[in-house]
């Protein structure tokens, strides 16, 4: 919902696609993806959590990013 409001109000957020380590200021690497599939057949949106870690040795910084994937319905095709 926040993304929709940003588009309507023409706000630009300065949020990087890949988070940075707060200690070392380097781009983090993707460790994995944890997803929550749609619960019902008529839903076309899935929510994922992306888990990132710092590539510097002996650093325990991690970050999570919520991402929503939406499927656009195509006439005549199953979702």
Domain count, the chain: 1
The residue segments making up the domain with residue 42 are 16-70
Q: How far is it, in rounded angstroms, from Cα 20 to Cα 53?
A: 9
Q: Is 49 part of a structural domain of the chain?
A: yes
- CATH number of 63's domain: 2.20.25
Percent with pLDDT over 90 in the chain? 30
Q: Is 54 part of a structural domain of the chain?
A: yes
29-36 vs 45-53, strand pairing mode: antiparallel
Q: Is 79 part of a structural domain of the chain?
A: no
Which positions ≥6 away from 65 have C-beta within 8 Å? 19, 49, 50, 52
Residues in the chain with pLDDT values less than 70: 1-3, 14-16, 36-43, 71-73, 77-79
Q: Is 8 part of a structural domain of the chain?
A: no
pLDDT averaged over the chain?
80
Q: Is 1 part of a structural domain of the chain?
A: no
Bridge partners for 48 per DSSP: 35, 67
């Amino acid at each position: 919902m926040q993304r929709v409001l940003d588009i309507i109000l023409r706000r630009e957020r300065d949020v990087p696609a890949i988070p940075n380590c707060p200690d070392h200021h380097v781009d983090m690497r993707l460790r994995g993806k944890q997803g929550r599939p749609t619960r019902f057949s008529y839903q076309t949106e899935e929510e994922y959590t992306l888990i990132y870690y710092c590539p510097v040795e002996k650093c325990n910084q991690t970050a999570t990013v919520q991402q929503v994937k939406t499927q656009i319905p195509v006439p005549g095709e199953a979702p």
